[in-house]
Amino acid sequence: MEEQFVVENEKTCETCDSQTCPLKSRNPQEAQEEFLERQAVGRRMCQIKHKILVLSGKGGVGKSTVAVNLAVALALSKRRVGLLDIDIHGPSVPRLLGLEGRPIESNGEALLPVQYGENLKVMSIGFLLKSREDAVIWRGPMKFGVIKQFLRDVEWGELDYLIVDSPPGTGDEPLSIAQLIPEADGAIVVTTPQEVAVADVRRCIGFCRQINLRVLGVIENMSGLVCPYCKTTVEVFKSGGGKRMAREMGVPFLGSIPIDPQIVDASDAGTPYAQTFSATETGRAFQRAIAPILGLGLADTKPLEPPAPDRKADDEGCGTVRMALPLVAGKLAAQIGQGEQFALIDADREKKTIVGKELIAANDRQPGLLPRWLREHGVEVLIIGSVGRQLLSMFEEQGIAVRIGEPGSEPEQMVTRYFEGTLPWA
Confidence (pLDDT) at 23: 64
Gap between the Cα atoms of 7 and 155, Å rounded: 9
pLDDT in tens, 169-180: 767 777 888 888
Q: What is the pLDDT of residue 308?
A: 39
Segments of 314-395 assigned E as strands: 320-328, 331-332, 341-348, 353-361, 381-384
What is the pLDDT at residue 314? 58
323 and 344 Cβ atoms separated by less than 8 Å: yes
| pLDDT of the residue at 354 | 93
**Strand 186-191 with 48-55, pairing:** parallel
DSSP-assigned letter for residue 263: H
Given a contact cutoff of 8 angstroms between Cβ atoms, the answer to whether 321 and 349 are in contact is yes
> Which residue ranges make up each domain of the chain?
21-311, 320-420
Name the CATH code of domain 320-420 (choices 3.30.420.130, 3.60.21.10, 3.40.30.10, 3.40.50.1000): 3.30.420.130
Q: pTM above 0.75?
A: no
Q: How far is CA 359 from the centre of its chain?
A: 36
Task: Classify 190 as helix, strand or coil.
Answer: strand
Distance (Å, rounded) from C-alpha 107 to C-alpha 18?
29
64 neighbors 94 (Cβ within 8 angstroms): no
Low-confidence ranges of the chain (pLDDT < 50): 1-9, 135, 137-138, 297-312
Q: Helical H runs in 296-405? A: 370-376, 389-397
How far is Cα 37 from Cα 349, in angstroms, rounded to an integer?
51
Name the class of domain 21-311.
alpha beta
**C-beta of residue 192 within 8 angstroms of C-beta of residue 61:** yes
CA-CA-CA-CA torsion sign (270, 272, 278, 283): positive
Q: Give the contacts of 361 (CB within 8 A, at least 6 positions apart).
A: 340, 341
Say what the pLDDT of residue 22 is.
60
Cβ–Cβ contacts within 10 Å for residue 90, how many?
A: 14
Q: What is the pLDDT of residues 143-164, one digit of tens each?
A: 777 788 888 888 999 999 999 9
